């Protein structure tokens, strides 16, 4: 992955191309406990985040305040930085 774009609920868009930061986000998602979202209710779906690789392929997920995420139908109990709150 070469780019992380976050569309904050405030309307701000943050583009990150620092490989160390991107790798940290990916490690956090892949290494954190997850559970299915089929019976969960959410007031909102947080910020929209997109990872992009060098071929232009993307993976979009929802990122919440507090570092949690929803990826491919799973709630990820992660601790990702709150990029939109900085």
Domain range summary for the chain, segments of one domain joined by +: 3-85
For 33-86, write each residue's pLDDT tens digit: 999 988 788 777 889 999 999 999 999 999 998 899 999 999 999 999 989 986
| pLDDT value of position 86 | 64
Give the DSSP H/E element, type plus range, for residue 23. Answer: helix 19-31
| Contact yes or no for 66/82 (Cβ under 8 A) | yes
Q: How confident is the model over 13-28, as a mean pLDDT? A: 97
Return d(Cα 15, Cα 82) in angstroms, integer. 13
pLDDT at 1 over 90: yes
């Amino acid at each position: 992955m070469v780019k992380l774009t976050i569309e904050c609920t405030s309307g701000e868009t943050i583009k990150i191309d620092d490989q160390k930061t991107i790798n940290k986000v990916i490690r956090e998602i892949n290494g954190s406990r997850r559970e299915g979202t089929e019976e969960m209710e959410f007031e909102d779906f947080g910020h929209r985040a997109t990872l992009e690789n060098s071929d232009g392929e993307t993976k979009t997920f929802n990122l919440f305040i507090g570092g949690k995420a929803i990826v491919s139908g799973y709630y990820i109990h992660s601790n990702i930085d709150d990029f939109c709150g900085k």
